[in-house]
Amino acid sequence: MTQVAGDAAGSEAVAASQAGPASQAEAASQAEAPRPLRVGIIGAGNIARNHVKGYTAAGAQVVAIADTNPLTLETRAAEWSVRHTFGDFRDLLALPGLDAVSICTPNAAHHAPTLAAAAAGIDVLCEKPISLSLTEADEMIAACREAGVVLQVDHHLRSNRAVARARQMIQSGELGRLTFVRLRQAHDWSGAAEVPPGFRMRSLAGGGTLLDNGCHLFDLARYLGGPVAEVFCRTATLKFDIELEDTAAVSLLFESGALGEIETAWTATGWDQGFWVNGTKGALEYSERSGRPILRHVYRDPGNITWDDPQAESWQTPAGSDHSLAVASFLAAVQGTGPIVCSGEDGRDAVRLALASYDSAALGLPVSIPN
């Protein structure tokens, strides 16, 4: 454990007590302002950067990081100007005055820090997938509920502005009855020759692209299309020499009777994410393929009975802000000023659909989802 002595809040308090009357008045007025939330990051790898960016943008202070890799700890502490660094997350959770933590460790290491944070009374933003098993997810949900702390799962697509508009249009009935929902998240690890260890090893990741990318899409399927009644999945390992699947497709049957399709891959070329929602009155098309994400609403005015030129309107949506919006919503939930946008139960349901899809792929049969 490496803990840096001293603390910014403590130093400020000493300086104020030694100051003259004018400064004391300033200090008193500052004391009335709510203090910034103090946050810790457990697992300071790639995705943690997005959390730090989100916290900083929202005015929270990242005061501590924990990582089992000493080099990562040192590099990130310097990069993010973080004073407190720990090799063991339990020591981070013992830091006085910590309000919340982001858990950004590999999939297999979400469970233990979440239970420990709940026991310490600290709110949790947990990376996806929430867990590798439903038993683990149940324990995480129960621990946070019993401790009265927030548990939000970082399915950040719920914070995507195009998704928000799509959900609002679906719920208002503007698209009519949903008929088909297609969801895709695929990439090629930025052209890297290998899948990173935390994702290619079953012991750390629990699953390949179907769990990694798919859990986002299973959550989105539920968020946009409602409960899923059945999954029928195929998986394949086509490009990388790994023990997990790098390509997967899942056929969905929603409880509403609508059909759907989930496509995930580490075998795409470049970043390829989008959703396509079809209803009896219109369709939504969203793709990040071009680098300028555009949501398109296609519909047909009454009397327009030609094969081509249906009416369309489109909105350009800002790229790359989903994670910061998700972090901001988590902070609002921590402060009691906003809802938990993606709960532990939501995260559990996404994992449940992923696990059922693995069962389906192994059986070569559709698998029902009891609701």
Q: Six-digit token pair at 182? A: 């297609």
Name 65's bridge partners.
Answer: 41, 85
Q: What are phi and psi of 368, to 5 degrees?
A: -80, 150
Interacting residues of 262 by C-beta distance below 8 A, sequence separation 6+: 183, 184, 214, 217, 218, 221, 248, 249, 250, 252
**Closest separation between CB of residue 318 and ligand NAD, Å?**
17
Binder of ligand NAD out of 2, 11, 17, 69 (CB under 6 A): 69
Determine if residue 255 is left, alpha or beta; phi over 0 gives left, psi from -120 to 50 gives alpha, anything else beta. Answer: alpha
Binder of ligand NAD out of 63, 67, 137, 151 (CB under 6 A): 67
Interacting residues of 44 by C-beta distance below 8 A, sequence separation 6+: 65, 66, 67, 72, 73, 76, 104
By CB under 6 A, is residue 346 in contact with ligand NAD? no
Residue with smaller CB distance to ligand NAD, 105 or 329? 105
DSSP assignment of 153-170: E--GGGG-HHHHHHHHHH
Binder of ligand NAD out of 198, 253, 276, 287 (CB under 6 A): 198
Q: Is the dihedral of CA 8, 12, 14, 15 positive or negative?
A: positive
Task: Report yes or no: 158 and 341 within 8 Å, Cβ to Cβ.
Answer: yes
Q: How far apart are CA 300 and CA 279, in angstroms?
A: 12
By CB under 6 A, is residue 45 in contact with ligand NAD? yes
Residue with smaller CB distance to ligand NAD, 120 or 253? 120
Binder of ligand NAD out of 11, 46, 168, 280 (CB under 6 A): 46
- Segment contacting ligand NAD by CB under 6 A, of 60-68, 250-258, 264-272, 329-337: 60-68
- Segment contacting ligand NAD by CB under 6 A, of 42-50, 168-176, 259-267, 269-277: 42-50
Give the containing element (helix H, strand E) for 343: none
Binder of ligand NAD out of 51, 84, 111, 156 (CB under 6 A): 156
Residue with smaller CB distance to ligand NAD, 45 or 366? 45
Q: How far apart are CA 157 and CA 168, in angstroms?
A: 14
By CB under 6 A, is residue 154 in contact with ligand NAD? yes
Q: How far apart are CA 16 and CA 10, in angstroms?
A: 10
Residue with smaller CB distance to ligand NAD, 38 or 128? 128
By CB under 6 A, is residue 68 in contact with ligand NAD? yes
**Closest separation between CB of residue 67 and ligand NAD, Å?**
4
Q: Which of 48, 55, 123 is nearest to 340 (CA)?
A: 123
Residue with smaller CB distance to ligand NAD, 127 or 169? 127
Residue with smaller CB distance to ligand NAD, 85 or 107? 107
Footprint of ligand NAD on 90-149 (CB under 6 A): 104-107, 109, 127-128
Q: Is the dihedral of CA 47, 52, 55, 57 positive or negative?
A: negative
**Closest separation between CB of residue 50 and ligand NAD, Å?**
7
By CB under 6 A, is residue 47 in contact with ligand NAD? yes
Which residues contact ligand NAD (rule: CB under 6 A)?
A: 42-48, 66-69, 72, 89, 104-107, 109, 127-128, 154, 156, 196, 198, 212
